[in-house]
Every structure is written in structure tokens, then in C-alpha cells.
Amino acid sequence: MESIIRNYQYFSIVFTFILGTLLHFTYKLSNENKIVALFSSINESTWEHLKLLFYPMLLTIIIGYFYIGKDVPNFICAKTIGIIISMLFTVIFFYTYTGILGKNIAIIDIISFYIVTIIGECVAYKLLINGFECNNIISIVVLTIFVICFTVFTFYTPKIGLFKDPITGKYGLIKN
């Protein structure tokens, strides 16, 4: 079973790399479709870039549940922890390096996306193979809360730095 889990984690990493990269552009390519905005980055804010990790990784939970998740009792929980770790590392790394340099650099942002994806999926893998016990119901609630937050904050965005587009200085889709 460990080799099946490992192979699925490799798939999850590649899937997140590809779909996350595409989701950076889908909102503009859709002529700013509001439905596409729910799961795509609508601006350059840190919050919007978290969608690029969250939704592909969420899809790997859904796909993986039907592939191996029914045989791995902690599947949903371990993968959820992987998502949270990836998103936390994204925020921490971005604000640390931009705080030090005084600006963000696109290539560092891109490379960090790939690195935090690998970190999150490696954490999930370790939890999956070590039989870490956790509550899948709580994980589903946490994932649902994230979906609600990404949806609501796309349109009704808190006016704090995490949500501010550093290029335009704007927040979300609803005009003030």
C-alpha cells in the first residue's frame, strides 16, 4: 500500500503544479467570469494565490478518496493537513522574503509555489504511511470553511494586506 500512496502523492504534486499554474490565468482568460473567479486567482494578492494551491490539492483529495482513500482511514485528514501546511508556508515565506528584500520577485514566487506544494504533499505522505490518527469529519469541516472563505472573500474582501493586490492596490471583485 505504501508504494500506491507514494505514487498517488507524486500524481498529486504534478497535478497541483499544472492546475495551480493554469488557475493563475483562467480568470483573465475567461473574460473575468465570476464563476471562474471562485477558484482562480483574480489578482496578485497573497490570498488569491492560495487558491492556486487549495483547489488543485482539494481535487486530489476528492480523486484520491475514490482511488485509495477508502483503504486509508486517515486519507482526508492527512491530505487536509498537507494543504494547510502548504498554505501556511506560502504566507510565511512570502512575507518573510518580501520583508527582507522590500519587494517581491516573480521567479521566487513561482519557485516557492512548487516548493510549498512538495512540502505539503510530503507532510501528507508521512502522515498517510505512519498511520497518523485524526478525524476525517473535522477535516471535511475545515475544507468546507476554506471553500466558503475563498468564495465570500473573492467578492467581499477584508481590507487587510493579505487580500490587497500589490499591483493595483485593490481588493476582491466588489468595488468600494
Q: Is residue 105 part of a domain?
A: yes
Q: Is residue 174 part of a domain?
A: no
Q: What's the whole-model pTM score?
A: 0.90
Burial class (CB in 10 A: 0-12, 13-18, 19+), 12: buried
Residues 33, 35, 38, CA angle at the centre, nearest 5°?
Answer: 110
Tens of pLDDT, residue by residue over 49-91, are 999 999 999 999 999 999 888 888 899 999 999 999 999 999 9
Q: Is residue 171 part of a domain?
A: no
- The parent domain of residue 113 ranges over 2-163
Q: Is residue 115 part of a domain?
A: yes
Tens of pLDDT, residue by residue over 7-23, are 999 999 999 999 999 99
Helix intervals (H) in 130-160: 136-155
Q: Is residue 176 part of a domain?
A: no
Q: Quick check: 25 and 141 in contact, CB under 8 A?
A: no
Count of domains for the chain = 1
Nearest to 156 by CA among 136, 175, 132, 139: 175
**What's the pLDDT score for residue 171?**
87
CA 52 to chain centre: 5
